[in-house]
Structure 1
Amino acid sequence: MYALPTKINKLIPVSLFMIIVIFIIANIFNQEEIIDNWYPTDILFIILPLIVIILGIVLSAIYKGSGYHGKAWIVFTLSIGVWYGGEITYEYDYEYDFKDISTLTSDIFYITGYPIFFAFTILYLIPRKDTISKYMIMIAMLISIVVVAPTLYLTFEEESELDYLTVFLYAIYPILDGLILGPSIIAIMLFFRGEVNFLWTLVLLATISDVVGDTLYLIFSVEESYYPGHPLDILFLFSYVFYAFGVYSHIKLYRTPEKNRF
């Protein structure tokens, strides 16, 4: 089984801790708006996804689109790029309106990124399809349903207080989270059997961070208590940290001599 380099092992908790500290400071001093609809903590939503995209480009260049994995990393980078579009177009103050597409711009980016990321997971796992049993698929599906069910329940419990478009947008995210959670769980099963590397542990952690973040976002949005620099944003940033170190660890793995990889 591939061992995570000691340097990366130390940097992950340090990076997560630094994000927490930044948000504590931002909330203590009541951060001020830098420019229209942008706050100091929002800078992290520019930097971290961009780091993941750059690392994805590097890994895509290494594989040169060769085989399923080469194509998978191109698709992965594209998915993070689409989500990045959602981050930079997100607005704190908005009301969904079909007549004004600008109110839906960030959601269009976010939602589009999910099926692209799902394609990445499938492309990555296809070479190992012979080792994936129906039992593993069933377990992954059941876990995904259990994890995302609370968010769906909260969404429809508040249905009477929300318009149909808002209910749809709140409900679609946990469903999409479940879509990418399933393959990640299967990959983790393969990881413990020594068939995939540590990348997938970090991908799973990133997905779980997004699932919990989406659930809390729903709660705080309905209560109208979400604000710039809200602590729940830490979870979304954690997911980018996990993706970044996952890709970086895979780059390190690729450059490791074959006999020393496992």
Structure 2
Amino acid sequence: MLAVEKISSMRYLVVILLAISFVLLFSNLFGKHSATISSDWLNFGVSLFALVFSLAISVKTGKTGNHGKAWILLALCLAFWFVGERIWMVSELVYGEKPWPSPADYFWLVGYFFFFAFSYYYVKPFRKSISKKMIVLATVVPIVVMGATIYVTADSNSDLDMYEKILANSYPVLDSVSLVPVILGLAIFFRGAVHFTWILLFLGMFCFVVSDLGYLYFSLDDSYYTGHPIDIPYLWAYTLFAYGIMGYLRVFSNKDKSREIKY
């Protein structure tokens, strides 16, 4: 019965991810403005769900233990990113201004550090499952990605002032560093140490990295706009976060029910 529920749950996730993709791609048929509106509102919905679920799990687990601390840090991360998303959305849809650079960047950049702290506490209990090869892979891949990204964007950013150059390059650097816990988390999952719904959190971060790097690439020739198809993995990321946290809440609820039955 439990296996059937897991399969059904994954099917719902696939349907949601496909629906998000369809809505964004379909809205592009009606022009960039329609795509921008669709992307901003889809972003509002999925990021809100992710934030609400993260707050719920933080209240449920409390602040004790590594995972308790991890969920609080993830909630702070998603809270900062949610504020950043809303600043971007309001700047674009209400004031008709170019959202970059803007105060939203500060919220996004701070959010990364809460994600790194979350990853540390989340992975810490599984440190015995982490081999030296995994550490080498988790270090080399981000360095290569970081170096390649900075090299490609270096000449293209020549028309930016120093502040904008630093800000623009902050994202590929932080995204590359984010790959370290992502790779370790995926490796731990394939060793059978964690549940699939939990690894969705790291898959979500991987989607952020893909979308951010895509954003930089398409921005080089000014072809990016909010609602561009490269935003799809960005929207998937929040969805995977929400779904992963929701899966953990189910596990927690089942444990509570087991205790009730036992006693």
TM norm structure 2: 0.85
Match of 2:29 in 1: 28
**Out of 98, 104, 109, which is 1:94 matched to?**
98
* CA-to-aligned-CA distance 1:73-131 (integer Å, 9 cap, x gap): 011011011011111111454386xxxxxx43011011010010110000112222333
> Between Structure 1 and Structure 2, which shows a larger proportion of helix residues?
2
Counterpart pick for 2:77 among 79, 86, 91: 79
After superposition, what is the alpha-carbon deviation per residue over 1:46-87, rounded to whole angstroms, capped at 9, x for unaligned? 111110111112211221222111111011011011011111
- Determine if the alignment matches structure 1 residue 114 to structure 2 residue 112: yes
Q: CA deviation at 1:32?
A: 4.6
SS of residue matched to 1:59: helix
Going from structure 1 to structure 2, the CA distance change for 1:64 and 1:125 (only over 3 Å counts) comes to same
| CA deviation after TM superposition for structure 1 residue 257, in Å | 4.8
CA, structure 1 residues 168+199, in 2 after alignment: closer, same or farther (shift >3 Å)?
Answer: farther
In 2, Cα distance between equivalents of 1:57 and 1:138: 34
Quick one: which of 135, 138, 161 aligns to 2:136?
138
Structure 2: segments with no counterpart, 5+ residues: 259-263
1:47 maps to what in 2? 45
Contact 2:55 2:72 in 1 (8 A): yes
Alignment: residue pair count:
249
Q: Distance in 2 between matches of 1:196 and 1:146?
A: 28
Query: Any idea what SS the aligned residue of 1:65 has?
Result: coil
Q: Distance in 2 between matches of 1:242 and 1:72?
A: 17
Give, in angstroms, the shift of residue 165 of structure 1.
Answer: 2.1
Deviations 1:15-72 (A, max 9, x none): 1111111112211122657xxxx72331111111110111112211221222111111
SS in 2 for 1:214: helix
Question: Any conservation in 1 of the 2:73–2:118 contact (CA below 8 Å)?
Answer: yes
Matches within 5 A, 1:162-241: 162-241=160-239
State how far apart, in whole Å, the 1-side matches of 2:70 and 2:232 are. 27
Gaps of 5+ in 1: 97-102
Normalization by structure 1: what TM-score? Answer: 0.85
Cα RMSD (Å) of the superposition? 2.6
In 2, the alpha carbon distance for the partners of 1:95 and 1:9 equals 35
Cα distance in 2, alignment partners of residues 212 and 75 from structure 1 = 23
- Supply the distance in 1 between the matched residues of 2:185 and 2:39 (Cα, whole angstroms): 33
Superposed CA offset, 1:196-217 (max 9, x none): 2214532232222212211221
Residue 57 of structure 2 corresponds to 59
Identity of aligned residues (%): 33
**Partner SS for 1:219:** helix
